Amino acid sequence: IEWSLVFPFLLSITAGVHSEVKLQQSGDELERTGDSVKMSYKASGYTFTDYAMHWVKQKPGQDLEWIGAIIPLIDIIDYNQKFKGKATVTADKSSNTAYMELSRLTSEDSAAYYCSRHSVLTTSCQKLKEQQPSMGLR
């Protein structure tokens, strides 16, 4: 059985930031059950390590579901318990790219996946997890 995964990405941009923030994303994916897929978010126009990168999932008609986050500056990663063993979040500081890999795909994984940056002024992933990721384009 083949099914598609759609990976739109949204980036939150803080009011008052005047640099041109750009992202380069991996495209829509069509994968088979049991396969893995790796999504990427390449950032430019801001200091990549100044932000935590959050990944969320949204199935049609449902709320956003937080998957996990990484703070590239100090390599701290935290996951929603539900996605431990399913999702792997990484970052490559040398290329300003955040990644999320989903393994052992099933029909339950068919959804839209979003990446959002969040200021790392908050010092722990627990505090970051308690806040809703900021989503939206300006």
Q: What does the pLDDT look like over 97-124, one tens digit per residue?
A: 999 999 998 888 888 888 888 875 544 4
Domain boundaries, the chain: 2-124
Strands (E), the chain: 2-5, 22-25, 29-32, 37-44, 51-58, 65-71, 76-79, 87-92, 97-102, 112-119
Q: What is d(CA 56, CA 66) in angstroms, rounded to the nearest whole number? A: 4
Please state which of the ranges 10-24, 34-48, 91-105, 107-121 shows the lowest mean pLDDT. 10-24
Q: Tell me the whole-structure pTM to 2 decimals.
A: 0.70
Q: Which fold is adopted by the domain 2-124?
A: Immunoglobulin-like (2.60.40)
Show the tokens assigned to 44. Answer: 């430019």
For residue 136, pLDDT over 60 is answered with no
Q: pLDDT band for 41, please (50, 70, 90 cuts).
A: confident
Show the tokens assigned to 100. Answer: 């999320």
